[in-house]
Amino acid sequence: MTALDLAGPVAVVGTGTMGQGIAQVALLAGHLVRLYDTAPGRAREAAGAIGARIGRLVEKNRLTAADGDAARARLLPAEHLTDLADCTLVVEAVLEELGAKQELFRALEDIVGEDCLLATNTSSLSVTAVGGALRNPGRLVGLHFFNPAPLLPLVEVVSGYVTDVSSATRAYETARAWGKTPVACADTPGFIVNRIARPFYAEAFAVYEAQGADPATIDAVLRECGGFRMGAFELTDLIGQDVNESVTHSVWRSFFHDVRFTPSLAQRRLVESGRLGRKSGQGWYDYREGAEPAEPHTAEPRPAPAYVVAEGDLGPASELLALIREAGVQVREDEEDHGTRLVLPGGGQLTLADGQTSVEFRDVVYFDLAFDYRKATRIALSASQDTSAQTLSEAIGLFQALGKDVSVIGDVPGMIVARTVARIVDLAHDAVAKGVATEEDIDTAMRLGVNYPLGPFEWSRRLGRTWACSLLDDLHERDPSGRYAPSLALYRHSYATEKREGAS
């Protein structure tokens, strides 16, 4: 079986924001849609809200008046669950509570036909567990839309342990027929996006908890240097601290308290204090009327060094050499040295973040990984208490000469962007090795689901296949808790590459 016949009615159970969004998507794809909610009158109210949104699409000329009228006419509030008997697909978007979902699907099994596809929009529960209470769990599949469903293209199509291949294929083709970009994944905690995205939040919070930098500075570095659409602190304020922490705890518990997914104590305190983000007026930031916006730490202007000595090609930061020359700073090359660093006039060194700390070396300043060093508007530098004032000043002045704002953070191994990207790459390799999804689907999911500038495997290819493993090895040496230990999948990937390169 492939996509649903457009003549077949679709039911959406649950009329919250997500349920309304899914109903709108199905409507505009041409389906008759039945909308049901257990609360009396709620389905009719939701139908009115959906109709109003469709009306606004017509006003903005994104939909013709005739198509808008036809879509509204196909939307039918259902008074009883039995009104869904003729539906070919039922999508559930109710409370994230296993018992409630199981009870709903058990009731639906006695109402809908045997060829009706059942789908749960759960984001944190096991699809296998939801279907475990059914007589025929093979027809239950996860259809995880992202909010707002009418706008975001990604849909994770999740196969439970006993989901029939035909059911998963049917769901996948239906999502594609609805104009979405489906990705197929196995039923594991967090699916693709919520599993692989955990380090984006966790590493930002870890840098903050280590007093490496304040939220505004970390967010600015992630945006202006890392190329991410939003920083971790502002994004969790938008999502809701309670919601984000709940997902983190769900993934952590589901992986039997795996240290790689450990929740943040700082975020826990934020939730306990009722500072849930934008919806409560305060979170990491203050959104109350009259509150001063938080500003990132930005270094005062410093003079640029007259020259730098390049030892090696700087690896993933090799683009900097051209930028330095364009800024009028002389680049002297040490052809006999095979390192990957810059030596400043005072003798101090400037090195790309590698998972080590500045305090371990004599007069070293680290700089963070950037998505695009030419386009980046901010660079983070890391120095220890032993770094000379001259070396830090020269490093700041060099990047300022390139037109960058400079944020100096604490002596944090792996800094901000580098450690975040390395951990995302690692979790992605681990997911592929465990059959969660393909490399292509993971890259697609992370670009479309959370707006990453690159997918994890695109990052890996750009940075070099051994880069993430090497950085995480260094981090693991400094924090042997297991949080930064490279996965076996990443280790094999890196080691096989090194063997091939050595043989050539």
For residue 282, give the DSSP letter: B
Q: Which of 31, 92, 109, 123 is catalytic?
A: 123
Q: Which residues of 161-175 are buried (b: 16+ CB within 10 A; e: fewer)?
A: ebbbeebbbbbbbbb
**Annotated catalytic residue 493:** no
**Annotated catalytic residue 451:** no
Q: Which residues of 216-226 are buried (b: 16+ CB within 10 A; e: fewer)?
A: bbbbbbbbbbb
Other CB atoms within 10 Å distance of the CB of residue 41: 10
Q: Which of 92, 109, 126, 156 is catalytic?
A: 156
Cα(159)–Cα(167) distance, integer angstroms: 9
Check: CB of residue 417 under 8 Å from CB of residue 199: no
Angle (CA) 25-90-251 rounded to 5° is 85
Q: Which of 31, 144, 429, 493 is catalytic?
A: 144
Q: Which of 167, 194, 358, 393 is catalytic?
A: 194
Contacts of 468-473 with CB under 8 Å at 24 or more apart are: 468/421, 468/422, 468/425, 468/426, 468/494, 469/426, 469/493, 469/494, 470/354, 470/355, 470/494, 471/353, 471/354, 471/355, 471/414, 471/418, 471/419, 471/422, 472/355, 472/422, 472/423, 472/426, 473/355
204 contact partners, CB below 8 Å, separation of at least 6 = 215, 218, 219, 222, 231, 232, 233, 416, 420
Cα(381)–Cα(350) distance, integer angstroms: 9
**Annotated catalytic residue 123:** yes
Check: CB of residue 407 under 8 Å from CB of residue 365: no
**Annotated catalytic residue 136:** no
Encoded tokens for 309? 């000595």
Cα(428)–Cα(477) distance, integer angstroms: 22
Can you point out the beta strands (E) in 64-186? 75-78, 89-92, 117-120, 140-145, 154-159, 181-186
Catalytic residue IDs: 123, 144, 156, 194
